[in-house]
């Protein structure tokens, strides 16, 4: 699919209000340097180059001191709008959706939600996601079939091998009608349901998001060692272009 075929009325939300406690660093993981720019810059660029967007909204922590003076985003093909995010990822995404819906002619728009720490998502994967679920009212997400043998644990021991034949690992972006995703997240809030990703919110209201196969190099920067892997995968992607 060529980027010019991507329909209008698409927004992107990058939730980036988290502090990345698992890495135990003094700065959030999205601001770690990777290929001369913070990880979040690469993630924003990856979404921006997937095709014409109405805008990209970046949800930031209220005490974020790293975003100010950010470079590398000067020539994006669409507006970039930072906003104050919430305590949890779902809160941040919902706040972004509410900002979108304050604008005119957004009732039928769609939204891509992408992790701030997935800098290597492929342009063709995003395009494939958009085209595959364009006529699927429940939206969809990039994902990968689980390849490893899975074990169920009890008291530190393996007690069962889990059938993996129908299990997938969720990636991002995830792509939904913006109004339906907003309603789903609000319903989860009312029901006190924990939301681990946007697809889980849609599932809670009875939707069945379509799974669209992505690539394994769409990794999430979670631990310090992931940066070394990201560098290697980045170089491999450039060689294959």
Q: Which domains does the chain have, with CATH numbers?
A: 3-240 (3.90.550.10)
Residue 168 β-bridge partners:
145
Give me the chain's average pLDDT, please.
Answer: 92
46, two tokens: 């990856």
86, two tokens: 């919430």
Q: Is there a contact between 66 and 40 (Cβ–Cβ < 8 Å)? A: no
Q: Is there a contact between 98 and 57 (Cβ–Cβ < 8 Å)? A: no
Work out the pLDDT band at 2, boundaries 50, 70, 90.
Answer: very low
Peptide bond into 173 cis (omega under 30): yes
Convert the pLDDT of each residue in 97-135 to its tens digit: 999 999 999 999 999 999 999 999 999 999 999 999 998
- Residue labelled with tokens 């890495």: 23
Whole-prediction pTM: 0.92
Q: Is there a contact between 174 and 132 (Cβ–Cβ < 8 Å)? A: no
User: Would you state the pLDDT for residue 25?
Assistant: 62
């Amino acid at each position: 699919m060529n980027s010019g075929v991507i329909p209008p009325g698409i927004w992107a939300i990058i939730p980036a209000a988290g502090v990345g406690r698992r890495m135990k660093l003094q700065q959030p993981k999205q601001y770690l340097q990777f290929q001369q720019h913070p990880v979040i810059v690469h993630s924003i660029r990856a979404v921006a180059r997937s095709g014409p967007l109405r805008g990209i909204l970046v949800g930031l922590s209220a005490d974020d001191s790293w975003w100010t003076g950010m470079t590398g985003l000067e020539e994006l093909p669409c507006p970039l709008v930072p906003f104050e995010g919430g305590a949890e990822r779902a809160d941040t995404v919902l706040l972004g959706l509410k900002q979108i819906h304050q604008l005119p002619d957004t009732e039928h728009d769609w939204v891509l939600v992408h992790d701030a720490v997935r800098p290597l998502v492929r342009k063709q994967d995003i395009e494939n996601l958009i085209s595959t679920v364009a006529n699927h009212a429940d939206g969809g997400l990039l994902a990968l079939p689980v390849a490893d043998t899975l074990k169920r644990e009890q008291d530190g021991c393996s007690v069962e091998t889990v059938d993996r034949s129908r299990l997938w690992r969720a990636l991002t972006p995830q792509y939904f009608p913006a109004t339906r995703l907003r309603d789903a997240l609000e319903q989860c809030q009312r029901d006190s349901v924990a939301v681990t990703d946007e697809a889980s919110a849609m599932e809670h209201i009875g939707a069945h998001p379509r799974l669209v196969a992505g690539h394994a190099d769409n990794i999430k920067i979670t631990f310090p060692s992931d940066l070394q892997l990201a560098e290697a995968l980045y170089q491999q992607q450039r060689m294959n272009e």
